[in-house]
A and B are shown apart, each in its own frame.
Chain A
Amino acid sequence: AQKITQTQPGMFVQEKEAVTLDCTYDTSDPSYGLFWYKQPSSGEMIFLIYQGSYDQQNATEGRYSLNFQKARKSANLVISASQLGDSAMYFCAMRGFYNQGGKLIFGQGTELSVKP
């Protein structure tokens, strides 16, 4: 079985500051991928960043970086220089490629509010 846990229901950050959104996971799959998505109030799922379980380096995409600690089974998202437009729901997700048939499973989500 696989499980994704986001323990922060809501987070506040001041504009231009950095914020870390926590994500821990558990899986029996030897090969898996970790994702972060942003979901604004419109409902669309916006892909932010991806980390494969065998990737040696932490993934980065512009202002987004993924702090991947495999031994701790954590995949925290760091957003640098927060902007007002970053206010949204953020979901961590995991995809197990062998035992889980490629299913993408989501965490509970964190609602981020950026203050001006």
Chain B
Amino acid sequence: GAVVSQHPSWVICKSGTSVKIECRSLDFQATTMFWYRQFPKQSLMLMATSNEGSKATYEQGVEKDKFLINHASLTLSTLTVTSAHPEDSSFYICSASLGTASSGNTIYFGEGSWLTVV
């Protein structure tokens, strides 16, 4: 079964509104979560790294005020797309990790969320 749950799977929102996407680790405490964005037929682009209890680290070119990331607990990280516009329409997917060097290949992905802004 899934160890990382992402919700909602599909969301349609009006331009100018905000939408929140949740990423939950179900069977373990995720010290680090990663948020990715993917356009059709393209690669996964890392947006930010979220560590529990601290501010997210954003990749270059990603607007911090546009994509708000909160990692309030060891099992939940949220991505809020603020004042969404049609160009924000994309596939957003999270992944969760137990740690860094010691966890090796232990990275679990959520199911992803399709966002459409109309």
B101 and A31 within 8 A (CB) = yes
Distance in Å from the Cβ of B101 to the closest Cβ of chain A?
A: 4
Residues in A with CB closer than 8 Å to B49 are 101-103
Residues in B with CB closer than 8 Å to A98 are 101
Distance in Å from the Cβ of A4 to the closest Cβ of chain B?
A: 9
Residue of A with least CB distance to B2: A44
Category for how many chain B residues contact A: 20 to 34
Within the complex, which residue of A50, A95, A102, A107 is in contact with B43, where a contact is CB–CB below 8 Å?
Answer: A107
User: Which residues between 95 and 118 of chain B lie within 8 Å of chain A, taking CB atoms?
Assistant: 95, 97, 99-101, 103-105, 107, 109, 111-112, 114
Within the complex, which residue of B42, B107, B111 is in contact with A95, where a contact is CB–CB below 8 Å?
Answer: B107
B44 and A91 within 8 A (CB) = yes
Distance in Å from the Cβ of A41 to the closest Cβ of chain B?
A: 10
B109 and A45 within 8 A (CB) = yes
